[in-house]
Structure 1
Amino acid sequence: MRPERPIDAPPLRLTELIAIALGGMVGGGIFTVLGLGVATIGVWTPLAIALGGAVAALAAYSYVKLALYFRDEGATYAFFKLSFPGHDFAAALIGWWVVFGYIATIALYAFTFASYAIAPFSDDDTLRRVVAIAVIAAFAGINIWSTRGMGRIEDLMVYSKIVILLIVAGVLWGNARASLPDLAGPDPALPLFGIVTIAAVTFVAYEGFQLVIHAMGEMTAPEKNIPRAIYTAVALATLVYVVIAIGAVLAIPFADIIANQEHALAAGAGDILGPIGTQLVIAGALLATMSAISGTLFGASRLMSVIARDGFFPARLEKRRSGIPRTAVLTMAGFAALLILIGDLRLILEFGSITFLLVSILMAWANHVHRGKTGAHPAMTLLSIFGLSTGAVLILIFEARHAPAQLAFVLALYAALSFGARLYTRLR
């Protein structure tokens, strides 16, 4: 169901909708994927990142079709509930999983922001956590203040970070130490399994395009703006990721990328441009994480309000003032701050990553079931199901091989959230 937009609330423009999607997508992903990719498949990392973008486009196809058919800002949760009525527990379960995944993502982005913000003068863990909580509080305030104000600020941060990251990529390209064929060697072997696996892992860096759907009640002409915003955002994110990955592979020694992980870009740019290069990357990282926090708070709080409306969250989370679910915004910010204080955020992020992949499979299946009504092409729906399912299997194999304890933690978290969803289903 599409909520009514308050009369005095100006609609979000296409540029702001694209910014919301890009804000959620281009967060900390590119700063962590590089090290993992280079350590696994070396020079083939840009290809895997591009393939991950293609898989994200398949997921986006289903979301766009379902959004235009159901016209409900609840997105993943609502699409499942409307596609398969009578399965209250399953709908509640998906709602709980997705919301908690968003909360974990907000917490990780805030922690990454704090790491870069204090890096030039301190490595104190307590200070890092304080700064992380402060940035969440700041953007919770902005989201409560005004939808249009949030949109304008999101525009500024997102498009600024894209420009900065592309400048960094250009600097790296201009200082290439070798060509891609030279780095691949005279007789390159294509590590197909490794490329597809890293593409599946990289897929999580594209999470966030569906945040646009949560703003359905705050835009005009969703039948035009939703597909334009989502497809444009996926294309731009893929372009930025691939261009940066190629630049990093060309200019930064592989050993440095693997050793520095998320700081590899800062280290590489610093070696070429000195302190200016390092500061440029830090600025890009700060803008990337801030826009991701803001965009995720915006979209996910509206999802929480929709789920509360249906009785699967406390009723007070449904309430809105001037179209803004203020209690939901504050609740998400509070839980994200709690995770920063007590949790290992990288473990929790894996939960969000796996969840995003699994629910995307469900959306592809729902789109296939309703293809006659959504206008989806059956070949595209089947390709989406196959591609996303392959990615899910590969990422689970990867986790089982490289981080079994982390996978066990994720499964335990699923169990805990399942208990909460079951409890509210019975209360309802």
Structure 2
Amino acid sequence: MATEVRALGVVELTAISLGGMIGGGIFSILGLAAQEAGNAAPVGIAIGAVLAFFAAYPYVQLARCFQEEGATYSFFKRAFPTARRLAAAIGWLVVFGYICTLALYAYTFASYAASILPWAQGAAGHLGLACVIVASLTALNLISVRWTGKLEDLFVYAKLVALVMVGAVLLLQGEPARAWPLDRSTTWLDLVDVAALTFVAFEGFQLAIHAFEEADDPVRNVPRAIYLSVAIAGSIYVLIAVGAIMTAPLDVIVRDKEFALAAAASATLGSGGHALVLVGALLATGSAITGTLFGASRLMAVIADDGYLPSLLRRRIHGHTPSAALVVMAVAALAIVATGGLELIVEFGSLTFILVSLVIAVANLKVCGEARSSRALSLTCVLALSAAAVMLLRFQATHDPTRLITTSVAMVTLLGLALAFASWRARADA
């Protein structure tokens, strides 16, 4: 039992965060970014990385201050102790956001794997591949924290090597004239739209906080892991985006946006380029699934401990591993995979985590004295995330009002269910 506790150092913690970040991210957002900003898409993604640092700062400060593994939910509860039901509702929303991103990673894994498996081209084969990878990595999470961390190290750092290789090859083989000069029709508004739209690709840095109880020297290593993961992910995203735009015509990247990176590599490098991207995609999505399952299931267990999720989700094995929460997350994500909808999943995920990050930024501003946070920087974080939320809502309203309605209804429904469940538990416990 003791070997499972405090088993994660900064390397493993960074791997867990990167595992959640570099997954479906660059493989799903590249085409959408190019669609909105043309060859200036890498600039929009770089702005998104800056936005991610503004989101990370409040998490780091509150993690040092409160030293709890619940992250968003626990931090809000500590900063606003009289708003426990609202904290529960926010926790539900975060969990659903993680489930959506888990579905995105599984969907992306299946899409790339199916490209070399003719029998898996149909919907049933696609769902089957998603089931295999999610079930396998859920089982690993159930078996051992230590082995999960070690496999995550292997997944993450192997995929980083693969993705850097992909970016380098694309840059060397590409045509600089495609990337520069930037398209004059692209506006700053387009770039900010890309930053907000692709924010889901940076979601995951907070997963290291969910491993606080299992981390070695967490007050020091968790913040280091968060900042490292944002910096590494942002650098790789920009490298890959520039390389892809230099390599393939924009219309190809936009047309094949569900597998834009493979399309870019295949356009110039042929089957060898496709194979290199395929390896990177499978490693990236595999590690993202592992990291998201690891961190988000622990958040579900923390909320269940407080009575705001069904008590079944409190069950743990090996001391800390939330077995029921892992299984529920996996099943829910696969249900979303079965329904499809790449753009809606990306937009919903980005909006969810922008709003959640905004809530945490407000919490950090409220307790900036206790958390030893810079008031000026804390206020800047609040303003930046508020602007991003407004921009994304404007984007949905102007591009497809139906998706805005769907997103709004889903969020209101989730919040309503969470508040209703919290009220029911409060009455039952009275």
- The interval holding the TM-score normalised by the smaller chain is over 0.9
Residue equivalent to 1:330: 327
Counterpart among 191, 200, 203 of residue 204 in structure 1: 200
> Is 2:272 the partner of 1:272?
no
> Is 2:375 the partner of 1:378?
yes
Counterpart among 15, 21, 27 of residue 19 in structure 1: 15
> Is 2:34 the partner of 1:8?
no
Question: Would you say the 8 A contact 2:159–2:283 is kept in 1?
Answer: yes
Distance 1:338 1:191 in 2: 38
Question: Would you say the 8 A contact 1:107–1:345 is kept in 2?
Answer: no
Residue equivalent to 2:138: 140
The one-letter code of the counterpart of 2:231 is: A
Question: Would you say the 8 A contact 1:348–1:410 is kept in 2?
Answer: no
Query: Gaps spanning 5+ residues in structure 1: where?
Result: 1-5
Q: Percent identity?
A: 45
Counting only pairs closer than 5 Å after superposition, residues 221-240 of structure 1 correspond to structure 2 as 221-240=217-236
Question: Would you say the 8 A contact 2:27–2:108 is kept in 1?
Answer: no
Counting only pairs closer than 5 Å after superposition, residues 232-251 of structure 1 correspond to structure 2 as 232-251=228-247
Residue equivalent to 2:423: 426
Distance 1:360 1:285 in 2: 27
Counterpart among 58, 61, 69 of residue 73 in structure 1: 69
Secondary structure, aligned partner of 2:4: coil
Distance 2:3 2:262 in 1: 44
- 1:7 Cα deviation after fit: 2.0
Counting only pairs closer than 5 Å after superposition, residues 272-351 of structure 1 correspond to structure 2 as 272-322=268-318, 323-342=320-339, 344=341, 346-351=343-348
Distance 1:293 1:240 in 2: 19
* Structure 2 CA distance for partners of 1:311 and 1:170, relative to 1, 3 Å: same
Distance 2:43 2:346 in 1: 24
The one-letter code of the counterpart of 1:232 is: L
Distance 1:25 1:194 in 2: 23
Residue equivalent to 1:35: 31
Question: Would you say the 8 A contact 2:368–2:375 is kept in 1?
Answer: yes
Secondary structure, aligned partner of 2:256: helix
Distance 1:376 1:180 in 2: 43
Counting only pairs closer than 5 Å after superposition, residues 159-238 of structure 1 correspond to structure 2 as 159-179=157-177, 182-184=180-182, 188=184, 191-238=187-234
Distance 2:257 2:87 in 1: 37
* Structure 2 CA distance for partners of 1:150 and 1:339, relative to 1, 3 Å: same
Deviates more, 1:91-100 or 1:29-38: 29-38
* Structure 2 CA distance for partners of 1:155 and 1:349, relative to 1, 3 Å: same
Distance 2:86 2:370 in 1: 23
TM-score (norm 1): 0.95
* Structure 2 CA distance for partners of 1:175 and 1:345, relative to 1, 3 Å: closer
- 1:82 Cα deviation after fit: 1.0
> Is 2:392 the partner of 1:395?
yes
- 1:349 Cα deviation after fit: 4.3
Deviates more, 1:393-402 or 1:121-130: 121-130
Residue equivalent to 1:369: 366
Distance 1:345 1:169 in 2: 24
Residue equivalent to 1:108: 104
Deviates more, 1:75-84 or 1:37-46: 37-46
* Structure 2 CA distance for partners of 1:190 and 1:404, relative to 1, 3 Å: closer
Question: Would you say the 8 A contact 1:107–1:336 is kept in 2?
Answer: yes
Secondary structure, aligned partner of 1:20: helix
Question: Would you say the 8 A contact 2:179–2:246 is kept in 1?
Answer: no
* Structure 2 CA distance for partners of 1:115 and 1:386, relative to 1, 3 Å: same
Q: Deviations over 1:232-267 (max 9, x none)?
A: 000000000011111112221112111111322212
Distance 2:423 2:368 in 1: 33
Number of residue pairs the alignment of both structures matches: 421
The one-letter code of the counterpart of 1:372 is: G
Residue equivalent to 1:417: 414
Residue equivalent to 1:3: none
Secondary structure, aligned partner of 1:184: coil
Question: Would you say the 8 A contact 2:202–2:230 is kept in 1?
Answer: yes
Counterpart among 255, 262, 272 of residue 259 in structure 1: 255
Question: Would you say the 8 A contact 1:311–1:424 is kept in 2?
Answer: no
The one-letter code of the counterpart of 1:321 is: I
Secondary structure, aligned partner of 2:151: helix
- 1:319 Cα deviation after fit: 2.1
Query: Gaps spanning 5+ residues in structure 2: where?
Result: 426-430
